[in-house]
Structure 1
Amino acid sequence: MYRNFKIVPNIIFGRGSFNQLGDILAPKRVTPDSYIVFVLDDIFKERPLKNRIPMEKGDLLILVNVDNEPTTKYIDQLVAQIQAYNPNKPVGIIGIGGGSTMDIAKAISLMLNNPGSAADYQGWDLIKNPAVYHAAVPTLAGTGAEVSRTTVLTGPVKKLGINSDFTVYDQIMLDPELIDGVPKDQWFYTGMDCYIHDIESLHGTYINEFSRAYAEKSVALCRQVFLDDHPDKDDKLMMASYFGGMSIAYSQVGACHALSYGLAFVLGTHHGIGCCITFDHLEEVYPEGVREFRRMMEKHDIHLPRNLTKDLDEQSLQTMAEVAIGLTPLWENCFGKDWQQIITKERLLDMYRKM
């Protein structure tokens, strides 16, 4: 009747806390042959953060490219790379970067202990074996990937996460210093993913007081960051991301995320900006949230791409709609168990044509 869900058991928060990563990982190095794989967004290839990673002899650093949304094929390639590097499994996988990098690290940690392709596990609770120990260090704030039970992946036939209690990180390190200097558009789009989590949770049929408590605090922090321009905005946004991720742990996201998955599957639109594009077309579903979102865009001089679907053929639009309508829990959270009487493929096609 009630889901006994898993949350991240170990959390460290504070400016400069990244310097403690080596100490946190030390107990995992139980034998001389123990090694750790660090998964780092390749944007840091020539930046100081790379040289601060506490690597030891035998460790492996993988620079991952997230110019495109992570795919199941990419995960399979990275797992094969680790297995070729050392026949023994690593004692830890550490994801350092934004939401996509953290999702990649989660997926790798799962697939090292589960046979087959990552595409085999797109869905809910398909993973059978626990993951390798995995920890996250976010360098962006908003996706909630650091606390979620999913890794968002694009597969051969759908965009859908590996949703499992085994996906949840064992350790997260929240250092607000690491998100300083993020380009404005990226900062905004990623932060809006958090805000949209809150709105979808608060206005969903799955809502309960557990989810509401986290979502209300998260949305209050988002308002301080994006409307008040608070001087401690990095610290506040990092905590808003955490609370926003927790707000959907016992509820669910909704119409915006479902639509964004279809957009991403066909056009490769990145998650944060994809959520913003779709949310802007959902005033009928989330009227107050969309109006406030537009005030945030105006304050920060954000201009969304328009006419993305203008030149798409009918088959591409149909594929978008099929991907979106297949996300039953999201639509049920948004509209209830009779959601199919409200959301039809024709209605989704009409929405996509307006984008």
Structure 2
Amino acid sequence: MYKNFSLVPKVMFGRGSFAQLGDVLEERRTNSDGFVVFVLDDVFAGSELEKRLPVEDGDMVLYVNVDDEPKTEYTDLLVDKVKQHNTILPDGIVGIGGGSTLDIAKVVSLMLTNPGSSADYQGWDLIKNPAVYHVGIPTLAGTGAEISRTAILTGPEKKLGINSDYTLYDQVILDPELLKGVPKDQWFYTGMDCYIHDVESLKGTFINEFSKAYGEKSIDMCRQIFLEDHPDADDKLMMASYFGGMSIAYSQVGACHALSYGLSYVLGTHHGIGCCMAFDALDEIYPEGVLEFRKMMDRHQIVLPKKVAAPLSQEKLQLMVTTALNLTPLWENCLGPDWRHIMTREKCLELYLRM
């Protein structure tokens, strides 16, 4: 069976394009009693970026905290806040921030039209009703959250995304000016998420010409960004992120992302740095990619945490292993249909103990 996947229908790219958000939303403001919800990373509270939001009477600025990876319980509380703000559905949801904030905005837009808890929809194609119209505006680049049909969540029993065509944004605005001032470590870890997307897609068993076309262009831009000096590096990174997300849309990520889910679920490790920690332990699976990744780390003087799994109890170590190995499509893309004979629990535990 071939995938018949959806794409984000509208994309705006360019420096200063954020200024057109008001015009984009004007088309949706058809109800005199309507309102828009701006889902804003709370690091921007009181900032110049917040002052530039086209907020009108009745609108809601919903500050979200992403110090921790998004949890189902937290997103459910945010949905309740929106419902308390107004009893009607909003005209639109606007997510502004990094990958976690963009994923939270996706979940809010979905859960306003679907009953129950967000934990009920962790999996593939469980959402039944279309989301509220939603716009994604990244202020970090690399995760591909702006183009992805996934909203990654940690639930009471598992870390797993809400994967649905309804999750996709209706509109994305890619303004490279919004990347200015990102701390170097955060810039690097998020950018490496994109690089790792490309390696996992290009080296995976699910690879095809569709994914290869996007992945090869994305990884070429990553090399320009992280191994060379370019004045338009932020523009390149925004497009590398977009293309990297497109590359995995018709293939899949692999071992690194599976292992990073275990780190996040047990240790609360943020996705970008978790991917870097996992990738650094995968010499045997992605030898060329890991070697190049280490060159990028050296060039930007990045030092990863070490031995993070060593203090853990056997119970928690085994929970990390279980979390990682439950992601069957990722391992199959990485190692093929017989992956379980290759990536045993013992081998997976060995990889964690390397980190």
**TM-score, structure 2 as length reference:** 0.99
Which residue of structure 2 lines up, in the alignment, with residue 159 of structure 1? 159
Q: Measure the CA separation in 1 of the matches of 2:229 and 2:6.
A: 34
Q: Measure the CA separation in 1 of the matches of 2:354 and 2:289.
A: 19
Which residue of structure 2 lines up, in the alignment, with residue 205 of structure 1? 205
Q: Secondary structure at the match of 2:110?
A: helix
Which residue of structure 1 lines up, in the alignment, with residue 109 of structure 2? 109
Q: Measure the CA separation in 2 of the matches of 1:129 and 1:279.
A: 37
Shift of 1:218: 0.2
The 5 A counterparts of 1:121-270 are 121-270=121-270
Matched letter for residue 65 of structure 1 = N
Q: Measure the CA separation in 2 of the matches of 1:316 and 1:31.
A: 51
- Does 2:3 correspond to 1:3? yes
Shift of 1:352: 1.0
Which residue of structure 1 lines up, in the alignment, with residue 119 of structure 2? 119
Shift of 1:229: 2.2
Q: Measure the CA separation in 1 of the matches of 2:110 and 2:329.
A: 23
Matched letter for residue 338 of structure 2 = D
The 5 A counterparts of 1:295-306 are 295-306=295-306
Which residue of structure 1 lines up, in the alignment, with residue 324 of structure 2? 324
The total of aligned residue pairs comes to: 355
The 5 A counterparts of 1:63-78 are 63-78=63-78
Q: Measure the CA separation in 1 of the matches of 2:220 and 2:337.
A: 30
Q: Secondary structure at the match of 1:55?
A: coil
Shift of 1:350: 1.3
Q: Measure the CA separation in 2 of the matches of 1:180 and 1:31.
A: 36
Matched letter for residue 180 of structure 2 = D
Matched letter for residue 4 of structure 1 = N
Q: Measure the CA separation in 2 of the matches of 1:162 and 1:46.
A: 31
Q: Deviations over 1:45-86 (max 9, x none)?
A: 131100000011100001100000000001100001111111
Q: Measure the CA separation in 2 of the matches of 1:327 and 1:229.
A: 37
Q: Secondary structure at the match of 1:62?
A: strand
Q: Measure the CA separation in 1 of the matches of 2:40 and 2:190.
A: 18
Which residue of structure 2 lines up, in the alignment, with residue 290 of structure 1? 290
Shift of 1:346: 1.4
Q: Measure the CA separation in 1 of the matches of 2:139 and 2:334.
A: 30
Percent identity for Structure 1 against Structure 2 = 67
Q: Secondary structure at the match of 1:152?
A: strand
Q: Please, which runs of 5 or more residues in structure 1 have no aligned partner?
A: none
Shift of 1:230: 1.3
- Does 2:332 correspond to 1:345? no
Which residue of structure 1 lines up, in the alignment, with residue 335 of structure 2? 335
Matched letter for residue 249 of structure 2 = A
Q: Measure the CA separation in 2 of the matches of 1:260 and 1:142.
A: 16
Matched letter for residue 258 of structure 1 = A
Matched letter for residue 94 of structure 2 = I
Matched letter for residue 270 of structure 2 = H
Q: Secondary structure at the match of 2:152?
A: coil
Q: Measure the CA separation in 2 of the matches of 1:346 and 1:280.
A: 19
Regions of 4+ moved over 4 Å: none
Matched letter for residue 211 of structure 1 = S
Q: Secondary structure at the match of 1:40?
A: strand
Q: Secondary structure at the match of 1:161?
A: strand
Q: Secondary structure at the match of 1:236?
A: helix
Q: Deviations over 1:184-227 (max 9, x none)?
A: 00000000000000000000011100000000000000000000
**TM-score, structure 1 as length reference:** 0.99
Shift of 1:258: 0.1
Shift of 1:155: 0.4
Matched letter for residue 353 of structure 1 = L
Matched letter for residue 288 of structure 2 = E
Q: Measure the CA separation in 2 of the matches of 1:278 and 1:212.
A: 23
Q: Measure the CA separation in 1 of the matches of 2:46 and 2:227.
A: 34
Q: Secondary structure at the match of 1:3?
A: coil
Q: Please, which runs of 5 or more residues in structure 2 have no aligned partner?
A: none
Q: Measure the CA separation in 1 of the matches of 2:229 and 2:270.
A: 25
Matched letter for residue 12 of structure 1 = M
Q: Measure the CA separation in 1 of the matches of 2:148 and 2:106.
A: 10
